[in-house]
């Protein structure tokens, strides 16, 4: 009898444990259901499913604008043009050379030569990676002091055309080929302050690398395709 009684008690404890486990599991499932589906708007990857409200159409937004002045730097084109492109550039930067050789000619033929756009070149030498960039910028400024904007852009083109051969000696030689003697100007560092001011202005305008452009306040970074410039230019011309 004693053994039978003990066996009966054991069976009841096991049953009670099973029932408790079942109830606890049910509570967990119910709580999970309420947590995830109780608000009537189940979500997946952050998007509401079966949202009864129609989506609000997104409005086109203008690119954020920055402040950048022409300063007293060389200008190419009509000085009264509606659109101004300011380039902050590095004469030793390969991407700047790419813009000069591939994209600028298209901008020049379609917009600068037609009087719609003026182009302003400002210096942004990245001295830490391009050791000749500062000297090249100073050399172009030296030519600009003697030959004005026309002389400046002749030297500008000469430097980019011979980017792979940059040296102090060659900079002086190229200037002489264009009819300018910049030996004293370059050796004295006369135009260093002008170049450094351009660099500070580039950074203040948001420039972090070269080439960096500001088109009527709209910033563009890098040697992007011509179409990127065309879109901004056309937008500004239409205003």
Model confidence pLDDT, tens digit, residues 138-192: 999 999 999 999 999 999 999 999 999 999 999 999 999 999 999 999 999 999 9
* Average pLDDT estimate for 193-204: 98
Given a contact cutoff of 8 angstroms between Cβ atoms, the answer to whether 152 and 144 are in contact is yes
Q: What's the rounded Cα separation, in Å, for the pair 63 and 61?
A: 6
23 versus 127: the higher-pLDDT residue is 127
Burial class (CB in 10 A: 0-12, 13-18, 19+), 24: exposed
Q: How high is the pLDDT of residue 10?
A: 45
CATH assignment of 75-237, given 3.40.30.10, 3.40.50.300, 3.30.450.40, 3.40.190.10?
3.40.30.10
11 versus 175: the higher-pLDDT residue is 175
For 74-92, how does the pLDDT look when each residue is reduced to its tens digit (9 = 90+)? 999 999 999 999 999 999 9
Whether the pLDDT of residue 1 is over 80: the answer is no
Whether the pLDDT of residue 56 is over 70: the answer is no
For residue 166, CA distances in Å to 127, 134, 190 come to 14, 11, 19
Of 51-55, 122-126, 133-137, 224-228, the poorest mean pLDDT is in 51-55
For 25-44, how does the pLDDT look when each residue is reduced to its tens digit (9 = 90+)? 555 555 554 444 444 433 33
% of the chain at pLDDT higher than 70: 74
Q: What's the rounded Cα separation, in Å, for the pair 230 and 204?
A: 25
For 99-115, how does the pLDDT look when each residue is reduced to its tens digit (9 = 90+)? 999 999 999 999 999 99
Q: How high is the pLDDT of residue 14?
A: 52
Domain residue ranges in the chain: 2-48, 75-237
- Cut 0.85: pTM above it: no
Given a contact cutoff of 8 angstroms between Cβ atoms, the answer to whether 42 and 49 are in contact is yes
* Average pLDDT estimate for 42-47: 33
How many Cβ atoms from other residues are within 10 Å of residue 53's Cβ? 6
Cα 90 off chain centre by = 16
Whether the pLDDT of residue 55 is over 80: the answer is no
Please name which of 43, 31, 226 lies closest in space to residue 117, comparing C-alpha atoms. 226
Q: Which residues contact 119 (CB under 8 A, 6 or more apart)?
A: 75, 76, 77, 84, 85, 87, 104, 107, 108, 112
DSSP the chain: -HHHHHHHHHHHHHHHHHHHHHHHHHHHHHHHHHHHHTTS--EETTEESS-SSPPPPPPP-PPP------TT--EEE-TT-SEEEEEEE-TT-HHHHHIIIIIHHHHIIIIITTTSEEEEEEE---TTT-TTHHHHHHHHHHHHHHHHHHHHHHHHHHHHHTGGG--HHHHHHHHHHTT---HHHHHHTTTHHHHHHHHHHHHHTT--SSSEEEETTEEEESS--HHHHHHHHHHHHT-
């Amino acid at each position: 009898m004693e053994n039978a009684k003990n066996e009966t008690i054991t069976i009841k404890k096991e049953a009670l444990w099973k029932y408790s486990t079942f109830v606890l599991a049910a509570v967990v499932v119910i709580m999970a259901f309420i947590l995830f589906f109780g608000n009537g708007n189940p979500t997946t990857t952050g998007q509401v499913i079966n949202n009864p409200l129609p989506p609000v159409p997104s409005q086109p937004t203008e690119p954020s604008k920055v402040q950048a002045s022409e300063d007293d730097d060389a200008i190419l084109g009509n000085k009264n043009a509606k659109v101004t492109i300011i380039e902050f550039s590095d004469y030793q930067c390969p991407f700047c050379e790419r813009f000069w050789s591939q994209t600028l000619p298209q901008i020049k033929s379609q917009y600068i030569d037609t009087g719609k756009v003026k182009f302003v070149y400002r210096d942004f030498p990245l001295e830490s990676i391009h050791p000749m960039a500062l000297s090249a910028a100073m050399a172009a400024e030296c030519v600009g002091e003697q030959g004005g904007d026309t002389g400046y852009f002749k030297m500008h083109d000469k430097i980019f055309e011979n980017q792979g051969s940059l040296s102090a000696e060659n900079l002086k030689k190229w200037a002489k080929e264009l009819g300018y003697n910049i030996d004293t100007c370059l050796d004295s560092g006369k135009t260093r302050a002008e170049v450094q001011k351009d660099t500070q202005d580039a950074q203040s305008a948001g420039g972090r690398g070269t080439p960096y452009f500001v088109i009527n306040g709209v910033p563009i970074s890098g040697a992007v395709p011509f179409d990127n410039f065309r879109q901004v230019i056309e937008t500004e011309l239409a205003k």
